[in-house]
Structure 1
């Protein structure tokens, strides 16, 4: 794989060709991905560096998560990249999975009580907020939570905000995101956080129709970043330790 990537890049340089442009959809999930001019979060910075190493120019599209998921999963989509995509069973056959960018743990955040297992959460919470279309929703369904317990919320509704307003009993979401949004100032004194429950690996993924050469080049670039420590350096810069 390393020799293949090197040969492709050297061939391009010898021919004087310009970097190929690709489109990547970024779903803003702080701090994993950020819509910021100077930085794009842990997964965003790693993915952009891999694209640079693989010889691609990137046209970055930042749109609501559900829209990004639908665009890239559409049967007509060709060679569209997306980050950060949690790899869960309902998505398995809808995307091309290139390589993992970060491990994401999830937890229950509540103002009422602490729980340690999915079973305790099922018994304790009558209304659990989770962002619509996310891996968290799929995980809750797989763990046997009823439709009456799950409150699917749009990004604009902001599940943490609804929790602080006592409109839901708990919020189930990424641990790092929850800590950033909830565990500050007044909220820190009254928010119970469960142990990590429901981890996933979040990937750089592509539409189902994806050039094998592009997927291979990006996978190789990401593997090299893991080997040379640059991916680890980016994670450390953000304080990301498999949260």
Structure 2
């Protein structure tokens, strides 16, 4: 029996094509106040958890503040793993929902703007705050552990799993989010939706087995490298 291939959509740190947002080149804020010197701010505790869950509800509207010119941005996926947000276009959200990725997140509308609060794109975007991760849906298999000298002194290490497989191939869900440093800033998906994902705007996609080879570089591999899946 053929085992269905798994892939991950996850961007590198820099040198991304026009229309995408590089790592660290945007901020998520919940408030715009024209009268303040710092016009965009975070007033809420919506991005933090305590033992009982999220401290506050996700605001209905968030601002993605970027230093870009209007009309350039066309991305369909931007990860903000540090605050457990995945920002997706309306097109990608529809694809996620059509493929069983539902009831796992709180959702907010996202306004993509510059520091003057001017809209940067005509595309519609949403922020998904993940409430339920899919770690338990996978057999991890044998891992490959990375640990440099500094990490060894600190007693930390990182592990990727090139042979990761779904436990239940009969489920209808085709997109998955993991809560881990190694995979948390991406979205894993099944081969059956690969063509549809490739139709979105400039995705950076790898087979999970190849992603394991790349991960040691901590994201500093160029867009378009030999392992990347292209249409």
Looking at both structures, which has the greater relative contact order when contacts are Cα pairs under 8 Å and sequence separation is at least 6?
A: 1
Of structures 1 and 2, the larger Rg is shown by 1
TM-score (norm 1): 0.26
Name the structure with the higher helix share.
Answer: 1
